[in-house]
Amino acid sequence: MQGRTVQGYAALEKIAGTSPDLLKSLLEGSPDTVSVSDARQPDLPLTYVNPSFQKTTGYTSEEVLGRNCRFLQGDETSPDDVARIRKAIADREPIDVVLLNYRKTGEPFLNSLRMAPIFDASGDLSAYLGIQRDITEERIRAESENSRNRLEALGTASGALAHQLNNLLHPVTSLISLHLPDIPDPDIRTDLEMAHYSATQAAELSNNLLGLSRGQFEEDTGVTTLPSALIRTVDLVRLMLPPTVTIETGFSNIPTDVNIPISETMFAQVIINIVTNASQATKHSGTIRIELAEIEGSKAQISIADNGPGIPFGLRRRVFDPFYSNSISKNSTGLGLSVALQIINKVDGNILATEGLLQPNGDGRGCMFTIDIPTIT
Amino acid sequence: MCQILLIDDMQPVRHAIAATLRKAGHDVVEADDGHKGLEIASSRQFDLVITDIMMPASDGTDVVFELKTRSSAPKVIAMSGGGAGIPADNALQLSSTQADAVLKKPFTNDVLIETVSELTSN
């Protein structure tokens, strides 16, 4: 009996004999999506989907029975994943695969699919069983957790590095400035002044690094103070992006410090994700303008505008959908903006996409993301 | 001119601070850890002791507290840039209750000289 687990089958037969409804209820009540395809018909048409299938995909069973389930695939579904499924079917092997599928609304979701060939009592291949789970939310949480861990590790490493650098730079600046007045030759003095200037700049950079580690080491109070935290985060972003990107800032619209109810690591994640997205939009060669304002004394508003190709009006809400991207690549998870919106929504804030900076050719406008966060009063 | 004991485990940093103090006309004795510093401080009288706080062999906070329990205690400056995971303010917190002044690293030569002369002017 090929591929058939005999053990346990007897128990199943008993259930089938005494309470056949239970078997049906198991399938119908399963939180995971269960689908069955007929292996005896050409192109493996679906012969059963449980209610969870409709909940996840938006298709009713009437709409899908008799069709091959490839209608769930779409533009961004990886051909490699599809090829793996095909090969498993050809080899009559089970397969585990995570692939991008699309709901009836066109909304992409990440589908964790397990598929197995089912053999009947005489050992003939009769069906394919598909168990599926929408793991989009799970992936967003994991992505958010990953970047939080990365930021914390970066904070720890940069803090340690900054202390070492400061200790090394202190003698440089101190000794040069100590002896500079005694140098009679103006040319040598100019050279040493240049060396002193460079060492001072390096010390400043090192202090910026040190700033990154603040808020990480302090107990996480869940409060972030603006503009100082924004200045630190933008310093970090500058280090992360290629130097071909121009970042302009306007933080002077805030008269005093403003507190927002979010931890600095989470806040940094939001800013980094949006600025990175803006940089990608300009192909890392445009201008990004970041501004901070206080609205009606109850909201902090941060706008991040770029001069990239912009987003057509009708699509501006959809950029926050998971995997909404025309360029999911190795460097981009397609989740950056979804993660940012989720973090901000959690503190009763919002992010809106509107028109940004004038494009370099003067034709149109790039994109602007405006983050509103309620302040703590 | 003052008699100054300088305690810091980082030789280049200690050298730079000592050079700055000497150029300002002070006599400087150097020690590279807290134990040696306290030994030297027991053998002769100093107007001022400047000590780093976070040192591997001995903690500068102990130096500050030990010196301040002695009769005819010298003036004491505690200095620190903090360490990995510890901001300078935290590192200096305890000793600031006993020290006459604290210096957060990095500081400029001017700040150092000014702090020293404020403490030793009378």
Tokens 């394919």 locate to: A128
How is A133-148 classified by DSSP, letter by letter? EE-HHHHHHHHHHHHH
Say yes or no: B108 contacts chain A, CB-CB below 8 A.
Answer: yes
Say yes or no: B17 contacts chain A, CB-CB below 8 A.
Answer: yes
Quick count: other Cβ atoms within 10 Å of Cβ B79?
A: 27
Contact B20 A169 (CB under 8 A): no
Least CB-CB distance to B20: which of A169, A174, A213? A174
CB pairs A-B closer than 8 Å:
54
DSSP-derived letter for residue A375 is: P
Say yes or no: A40 contacts chain B, CB-CB below 8 A.
Answer: no
Q: Measured between CA atoms, how close is A300 to chain B, in angstroms?
A: 28
Between the alpha carbon of residue A240 and those of residues A154, A266, A286, B83, the distances in Å are: 11, 17, 15, 24
Q: What is the per-residue pLDDT for A218?
A: 45
Q: What is the per-residue pLDDT for A329?
A: 47
ipTM computed for the complex: 0.88
Q: Measured between CA atoms, how close is B72 to chain A, in angstroms?
A: 32
In contact, A197 and A223? CB cutoff 8 Å: no
Residue A99, classed as helix, strand or coil, is: strand
d(CA A291, CA A279): 16
Please write the tens of the pLDDT for every residue from B59-115: 899 999 999 998 888 999 999 987 766 778 888 888 888 999 999 888 999 999 999
Residue A280, classed as helix, strand or coil, is: helix
Judged against a pLDDT cut of 70, whether residue B35 lies above it is answered with yes
Global pTM? 0.63
Best to test chain A binding among B109, B111, B113 (most A CBs inside 10 Å)? B109
Percent of chain B clearing pLDDT 90 (strictly above):
70
Say yes or no: A160 contacts chain B, CB-CB below 8 A.
Answer: yes
Say yes or no: A150 contacts chain B, CB-CB below 8 A.
Answer: no
Collect all residues of chain A within an 8 Å Cβ-Cβ radius of residue B16: 170-171, 174-175, 178
Phi and psi, residue A261, nearest 5°: -85, 65
pLDDT tens digits for chain A (377 residues)? Answer: 444 555 566 777 787 788 888 888 888 999 999 999 999 999 999 999 999 999 999 999 999 999 999 999 998 899 999 999 999 999 999 999 999 999 999 989 999 999 999 998 888 999 999 999 999 989 888 888 887 788 777 777 777 788 888 889 999 999 999 999 999 999 999 999 989 988 888 887 777 677 666 544 444 568 888 888 898 889 888 888 888 999 999 987 777 888 999 988 889 889 999 999 999 989 999 999 999 988 877 899 999 999 999 888 878 888 888 777 655 444 566 788 888 998 899 899 999 999 999 998 888 999 999 999 999 87
d(CA B48, CA B46): 5
A98: amino acid identity, one letter: V
Quick count: other Cβ atoms within 10 Å of Cβ A60?
A: 13
Which of A49, A67, A68, A45 has the alpha carbon at shortest distance from A57? A49
Q: What is the per-residue pLDDT for A202?
A: 86
In contact, A322 and A335? CB cutoff 8 Å: yes
Say yes or no: B13 contacts chain A, CB-CB below 8 A.
Answer: yes
Between the alpha carbon of residue A210 and those of residues A50, A253, A373, B102, the distances in Å are: 55, 26, 26, 20
What tokens does B63 get?
Answer: 């130096």
Dihedral, CA atoms, A201, A206, A210, A212, nearest 10 degrees?
A: 80
Q: What is the per-residue pLDDT for A1?
A: 44
